[in-house]
Amino acid sequence: MHLIHVGAAILNQTPLDWDNNSENIRAALTLAREKKVSLLCLPELCICGYGCEDAFFAPATRRMARRVLKELLPATRGIAVTLGLPVMHQGLLFNACVFVVDGSVVGIVPKQHLAGDGLHYEPRWFRAWPQRAVAQIDVDDTDVPFGDLVFNLDGVRVGFEICEDAWAANRPGSSLADRGVDVILNPSASHFAFGKHAIRKRLVADGSRAFGVTYVYSNLVGNEAGRAIYDGGALIGSSGTIVASGPRFSFQSIDLTDAVVDIDATRTQRAQLASRQPSIEPDAGLVDVKFTLPQAQPAAPPNREASWEESESRDEEEFTRAIALGLFDYARKSRSRGFVVSLSGGADSTACVALIRLMVDFGIKELGMPRMCEAFGFIPFDPRPMKDGDGLTDAILTTAYQATRNSSSTTRDAARTVAEAVSARHLELDVDALNRGYVEMIEGAVGRKLSWEQDDIALQNIQARVRAPGIWMLANLENKLLVATSNRSEAAVGYTTMDGDTCGGISPIAGIDKAFLRRWLSWLEQTGPAGIGPMRAVGVVNRLAPTAELRPQSQNQTDEDDLMPYDVLDAIEHQAIGQKRSPAEALTDLQTQFPQYDVKILTHWVVRFFKLWSRNQWKRERFAPSFHVDDKNLDPKTWCRFPILSGGFRRELRELVPENDDRST
């Protein structure tokens, strides 16, 4: 047997936070050395951070990344490790992985396939490196190999697939296998989305089988740059089997997954693969490195995959842990002392408040109370004792119910019940006088009384807007983040008041649809996340029909009466935006999905959706940053671009319904 000890670390990095990033890398190296890991994979662009955006173009960014790389070299003694940074070569910029062995840079491998879909805009900054191309690059007055390289470490060949490389149809792993590679390292920055981790596991397992190698995959963890949440989940595969997997959604800054693997076993497996043929150039790009990977002792890696990963409620579990981690990182990295939420007694604001409390519970379980308090700036500055989750939540979460004459006692009581259940500091504010003041001022200016029959939208919106200044003031007074509570379904049709309920510095649920949120709240009431349990108090909200409560109570306003059933809305959004289908095509699909509705009402809802979608792009452009949780995001800055001004599908809708038909409005 030829046993070597390999490892993959997850890191919580921050763009351009050189000291934090360097500290995490050093800690990972120290932990690897303690565990006797000799070959370590760290995440993509870990020195500078993956989300530097246009700062990649700045020469100062690249100079500092090189400087930090040089500072880290002494800490790599006795270890072979990957370190990522942007590299300029022949006037072009590359997303590159520096292979450092025993304190020296032995080669630099640029990425061959760039991520340019969804959240990713790598082709804006970087160029893809051609397969098999090799060059030289100067590193501190020394020529270093640069390109599609294979490293020979005392007879063990090591190659690279960098994140997107593994997702490409012509992934480099096949070429690496032809060149006799024994270990493939994959430094990644792979953001969280529902079900995505299962795909990663298949890529790692299938890659290790098809290429006859040990495959080592590392990833970022946390809310790195504000919108994307990275779930970690390091993986090590060998001969088609996942031999080690790490935790996901960790609140820790680093975590190491390691395994002892048998090079002889993978070589034997590769020899038996009929699909593998001799390479014409087996030594193309080969770099011989004077370094011996020590013979390791046999060891079975512990099973570190959480039990909830196999739960029937995995989407709910993933959503809970992703948003909780996103909130934690966003608050601490923005140096905020917590959160303020305008708690209406409805589903959306209740979900936000519940997620903040779950963030506290997860954080205390994993980090302990002192480190959680330190993350929010309460040590050593605040003398208040915070002995448990109730005490910490009271310190970091302020909620306020803001009533007008159209608010009901039902929602007031629901808001109070939820706030008490999560131990938030709860306030009740009456903003009706402010609302009436604006209405009367405008009535005097325009010379007439405003009425619900004539001025419905204006009278609804002013109520939402008068709630903004006070809640912003609370957030400013307490140095906390104001949380906007809009969801994706509302964003799709603009069912939200700009500068009203959209106010906030972070919009944590704007990436998820209303139908899912209501299912999630029901799950939270009955089951809750593993290790935490249910939150029974949200039941008071689950029993209410969603309503903005902006019209007089006598009108019995509900969101679905204003719009359409949320499950229908989300289905149209999926067809129109996700699948890029026309109004007629969306209607055809809806008739199959919802046979219980008459075709005339379905047509009305389709027309309504497309009109509202087109009119309200300007609102989506102004939403506070939201978290990405699935591949249906509507954020125009990172996922779904649409013109602010457009033809609004007028011809398509006219062909669907004549404009003189009142259902077309």
What's the number of CA atoms in the CB half-sphere (13 Å) around residue 191? 23
The three-state secondary structure class of 199 is: helix
Alpha-carbon distances of 264 from 175, 315, 402, rounded to whole Å: 20, 39, 68
pLDDT reported for residue 383? 66
**Of 192, 190, 219, 301, which Cα lies nearest the Cα of 10?**
219
CA distance 626 to 227: 6
Q: What is the phi/psi pair of residue 215, to 5°? A: -120, 125
CA distance 85 to 73: 14
For domain 3-305, give the CATH number: 3.60.110.10
SS (H, E, C) 355-383: HHHHHHHHHHHHHCHHHHHHHCCCCCCCC
pTM: 0.94
**Of 656, 537, 568, which Cα lies nearest the Cα of 607?**
656
Q: Which two tokens stand for residue 248?
A: 């996901």
SS3 content of the chain, % helix, strand, coil (to 5): 45, 20, 40
Alpha-carbon distances of 211 from 10, 259, 436, rounded to whole Å: 24, 19, 71
Alpha-carbon distances of 500 from 23, 170, 290, 407, rounded to whole Å: 41, 49, 64, 16
- Report DSSP letters for 547-584, one per residue: ----S-GGG---HHHHS--HHHHHHHHIIIIIS---HH
Q: What is the phi/psi pair of residue 136, to 5°? A: -125, 150
Strand partners, 256: 9
The three-state secondary structure class of 106 is: strand
CA distance 153 to 289: 5
Task: Give the orientation angle of helix 347-367 with respect to helix 389-396, to 10 degrees.
Answer: 130
**Of 200, 209, 280, 216, which Cα lies nearest the Cα of 248?**
200
SS (H, E, C) 229-285: EEEECCEEEECCEEEEECCECCCCCEEEEEEEEEHHHHHHHHHCCCCCCCCCCCCCC
Q: Tell me the pLDDT tens digit for each residue of 197-245.
A: 999 999 999 999 999 999 999 999 999 999 999 999 999 999 999 999 9
- Tell me the domain boundaries of the chain: 3-305, 309-559, 564-665
Q: What is the dihedral of CA 221, 224, 230, 234, to 10 degrees?
A: -30
Within this chain, domains 309-559 and 564-665 share the same CATH topology: yes
CA distance 412 to 396: 22
CA distance 162 to 174: 14
Give domain 309-559's CATH number out of 3.20.20.70, 3.90.1150.10, 3.40.50.620, 3.50.50.60.
3.40.50.620
**Of 73, 67, 66, which Cα lies nearest the Cα of 26?**
73
Beta carbons within 8 Å of 550's beta carbon, 6+ residues apart? 406, 459, 460, 461, 463, 464, 557
Beta carbons within 8 Å of 106's beta carbon, 6+ residues apart? 99, 100, 144, 145, 151, 287, 289
Q: What is the phi/psi pair of residue 377, to 5°? A: 80, 20
- List, for the chain, all residue ranges whose pLDDT scores fall below the cut of 70: 380-381, 383-385, 548-550, 659-665
Q: In what order do the strands lie in the sheet with 397-403?
A: 425-430, 397-403, 339-342, 481-483
Q: Which two tokens stand for residue 316?
A: 């709910």
Beta carbons within 8 Å of 158's beta carbon, 6+ residues apart? 39, 80, 99, 150, 151, 152, 181, 182, 183, 184, 185
pLDDT reported for residue 663? 45
pLDDT reported for residue 638? 86
CA triple 18-19-21, angle to 5 deg: 65
Q: Tell me the pLDDT tens digit for each residue of 329-343.
A: 999 999 999 999 999
Give domain 564-665's CATH number out of 3.40.50.620, 3.40.140.10, 3.50.50.60, 3.40.228.10.
3.40.50.620
